[in-house]
Amino acid sequence: MRFAAERRSKIKFPVDTLVFFAFEEENKPLGPWTGIDIQIQSKVAAAAKNEAFKAKEKQTLVFYPPDGKPARRVLVAGLGKRGRFDGERLRRGAAAVAGRVKANGSGQIDVVLPVEEQVSLDPREQAQSVAEGLGLALYEFRSYRSKPSEENGPLESARVVVDSEKHLAAAAEGVRRAEAYCRATCLTRDLVNEPPSRCTPRYLAAAAKGLSKRGVSVRVFDEKQIRKMEMGGLIGVSLGSVEPPRFVHLTYRSPGAKRTIALVGKGITFDSGGLCLKPADGMLHMKNDMAGAATVLGVMSVVSELKPKVNLHGIFGATENMPGGGAYKMRDVLRAKNGKTMEIVNTDAEGRVILSDALSYASELKPEEIIDVATLTGACVVALGTEITGLFSPDPDLAAALQTAARAAGEKLWPMPIDEDYRDLIKSDVADMKNSGGRNAGAITASLFLKEFVAEGIRWAHLDIAGPGLAESNQPYRPAGGTGVMVRTILRYLEAR
């Protein structure tokens, strides 16, 4: 869909659908449009009373002015309590609008930003929140449906509307950023939602090559080159599959770069557990095990238009983890690219094994920071559930900056400990380390394992998205399926550097 920002004075009334926001129990459309408020305020109050509308979160109210002015239809979305207002409340309010519009049908909507002195969020953030809420809520993955949607026609365009010229430029910038953020998130969702027999390592590599037209350079390494680079972890995990592995390196260079950051993703395109075979229920969502690599591709797809002042490397290894005749075995010892050895005590702890090579490769590029994103551990899901990403970092400043970005994006990110006292749990008698420390402190020992492959002096953070990487049911602006979680957080983080 298309987004735009416009001044009220430039809009020709009446319009099709006019959208306002309101705080709980105030029932007054927010915005500086005094003239229109006078026309519809009493009608809103009457309709609210009839419909028991109290402007709570997720509540919407629709009514049709009898004279069709200033719109054929007026929609009011609740924001909840005024004291809790922030960008996420506005994003969720816009998502509720999207749901109502889908049900009622509308080709275009005009959304009045709640710009007023009592609302602290600036017009740029308001516009971005509204556009993100609409765009992400309307996402659908329909590539494999045999019949067209039976719902009303799609919403084609939305304008965020302000009253003054001083707010227009900020609103337009917010809309521009939201469009990029939504496209990046939806690309990640699309990749995660593809069936695993289609979204293979070669498919992900081809998707990466497609970004070469978007201002990034792309290098793809095949299995022979991976062996030559001595990536023992990636080669070892790939042995049980007939699908060959791939290793991908994308690069964006900024003329005004202040630092270099490497973004590393886990790319297991299907995880059967290997010889430590998962039960059927445990395998059901394992096409999602490449969500970290999909996050890298989503972010890299829009950096050239957002132009953050960083040089950015996007890196991932991609393979299946299958129990074929040549599969790597329990008690095998693999050697990662940085020379460290790993004793395999669980073939279903394969994500960290392929990340050992990706983190080693990233370290050789000598970035100031490495951020890895991975659907890494069931232990993190036990600890934080399906809504919260686990954040592991020995650098408190990096962790704090990522949390700030996550709050602005409306994504939940929780700091977890990396306690060196648990290192003995991954101690091996025959190699430098084991690839699993067992059930206890499983997310922590996994992060300690990854830390072994980050070179000294590089700031590092690990984001475990095993819980929120895929949603089993619809949530506000996040339909069931791949979520694209952390794409917008990482983009905000990069833009703030």
Catalogue the active-site residues: 278, 352
User: CA Rg, the chain, in Å?
Assistant: 24
CB 484 within 8 A of CB 189: yes
Query: What's the token pair of residue 401?
Result: 């900056």
In eight-state DSSP terms, residue 435 is: S
CB 337 within 8 A of CB 232: yes
CB 250 within 8 A of CB 257: no
Please name the helix (run of DSSP H) or strand (run of DSSP E) that holds residue 327, with its range, or none.
none
Query: What's the token pair of residue 133?
Result: 């809420």
- In the block, residue with structure tokens 């010889």: 275
CB 369 within 8 A of CB 383: no
CB 55 within 8 A of CB 109: no
d(CA 397, CA 130): 30
Q: Where are the beta strands (DSSP E) in 44-136?
A: 60-63, 71-78, 108-112
Residues 69, 72, 75, 76: what is their CA dihedral angle, to the nearest 10 degrees?
Answer: 10
Report the interhelical angle of 165-193 vs 487-496 (nearest 10°): 130
Helix (H, G, I), strand (E, B) or coil at 453: coil
Find the length of the chain.
Answer: 497
d(CA 453, CA 455): 6
d(CA 326, CA 277): 15
d(CA 22, CA 165): 23
What is the side-by-side strand order in the sheet with 259-271? 217-221, 246-252, 310-321, 259-271, 369-374, 459-464, 388-392, 412-416
d(CA 431, CA 456): 21
CB 444 within 8 A of CB 380: no
Distances (CA, A) of 333 to 124, 327, 428, 432, 473: 53, 13, 10, 10, 40
